[in-house]
């Protein structure tokens, strides 16, 4: 659980406003900087997201300097240059397909803290670890992609709660992302990048399909 002290610092704690007024912003005030403390706090808050077996298969690369943004721009498709150049930070959310290698740490900690018994911990290890240790790369990529998407969506809403706007971006050279940031491309899969900053535009109001036509009750 994220400490409630973090929630107290939110500048917008109105759920409806945060969620339903979110819109993709593509032009930010380039003069606005967000401190690394605040970026780190937002990521911490976003990682309260659920994840498969609590594997937390996500990883964040934050480009918040001129050099970092130049690297981010080098993988972007040109239509995403305006956001990349004007945002305060571009956060790449990547899936970690080897998160199961540190899986024991989370549950050993829970056990040490007295939140679960050693028997419960061992039962969790016995149930889930073989599943992941023998999983195909395709399975691991899918799992890591879902986990990371959960965290990314939370990060967009958390950013709004901190008074910022975002643009989710997948228009980049996915095959270049990990290597450009010095990460192992066999381990880390790019899921989405989030441009974060203060808006200087009135974004396009997007429409949605009628949810009734997309829903089946069985
Ligand atoms: C996975 C994903 C990838 C996206 N990639 C881009 C992108 O590369 N460039 C961009 O300008 N917007 C991108 N978007 C933003 C969508 O265009 C936007 O969410 C959609 O039009 C709905 O508008 P809204 O976000 O304002 O509600 C992406 C959104 C998602 C979820």
Nearest CA to ligand 1 atom 27: 23
Over range 35-52, report the average pLDDT: 98
The CATH class, in words, for 12-200 is: alpha beta
How many Cα atoms are found within 13 Å in the side-chain-facing hemisphere of 195?
Answer: 28
Question: Is 24 close to ligand 1, i.e. is its CB under 6 Å away?
Answer: yes
Per-residue pLDDT of 62-111, as tens digits, reads 999 999 999 999 999 999 999 999 999 999 999 999 999 999 999 999 99
Asked whether the beta carbons of 60 and 177 are under 8 A apart, the reply is no
Asked whether the beta carbons of 14 and 161 are under 8 A apart, the reply is no
User: Among 85, 169, 204, which is best to mutate for testing ligand 1, by the most ligand atoms less than 8 A from CB?
Assistant: 169
Per-residue pLDDT of 140-167, as tens digits, reads 999 999 999 999 999 999 999 999 999 9
Question: Is 149 close to ligand 1, i.e. is its CB under 6 Å away?
Answer: no
Question: Which pLDDT value is given to residue 9?
Answer: 78
| Ligand 1: nearest atom to the Cα of 172 | 8
Among candidates 76, 60, 62, 80, which has minimal Cα distance to 148?
60
Residue 151 DSSP SS3: helix
Share of the chain above pLDDT 70, in %: 96
CA–CA separation, 102 vs 19, rounded Å? 33
Neighbours of 60 (CB within 10 A): 19
Residue spans of the domains in the chain: they are: 12-200
| Ligand 1: nearest atom to the Cα of 26 | 11
Helix (H), strand (E) at residue 7: helix 4-8
CA distance to 48, 118, 127, per residue, from 124 (Å): 20, 10, 5
Question: Is 19 close to ligand 1, i.e. is its CB under 6 Å away?
Answer: no
Phi-psi region of 28 (alpha: psi -120 to 50; beta: other; left: phi over 0): beta
Checking if the pLDDT of 1 tops 70, the result is no
């Amino acid at each position: 659980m994220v400490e409630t002290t973090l929630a107290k610092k939110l500048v917008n704690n109105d759920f409806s406003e945060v969620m339903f007024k979110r819109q993709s912003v593509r032009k930010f005030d380039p003069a606005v900087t967000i401190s690394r403390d605040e970026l780190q706090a937002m990521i911490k808050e976003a990682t309260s997201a659920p994840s498969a077996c609590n594997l937390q298969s996500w990883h964040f690369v934050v480009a918040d300097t001129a050099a970092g943004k130049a690297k981010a721009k080098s993988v972007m498709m040109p239509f995403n240059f305006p956001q990349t150049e004007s945002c305060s930070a571009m956060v790449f959310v990547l899936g970690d397909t080897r998160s199961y290698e540190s899986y024991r740490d989370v549950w050993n900690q829970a056990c040490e803290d007295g939140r679960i018994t050693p028997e419960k911990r061992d039962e969790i290890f016995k149930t889930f670890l073989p599943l992941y240790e023998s999983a195909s790369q395709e399975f691991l990529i899918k799992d890591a992609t879902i986990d990371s998407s959960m965290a990314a969506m939370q990060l967009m809403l958390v950013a709004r709660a901190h008074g910022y706007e975002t643009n989710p971006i997948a228009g980049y050279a996915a095959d270049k992302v990990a290597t450009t940031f010095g990460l192992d491309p066999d381990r880390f899969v790019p899921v989405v990048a989030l441009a974060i900053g203060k808006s200087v535009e009135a974004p396009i109001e997007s429409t949605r399909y009628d949810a009734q036509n997309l829903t089946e009750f069985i």
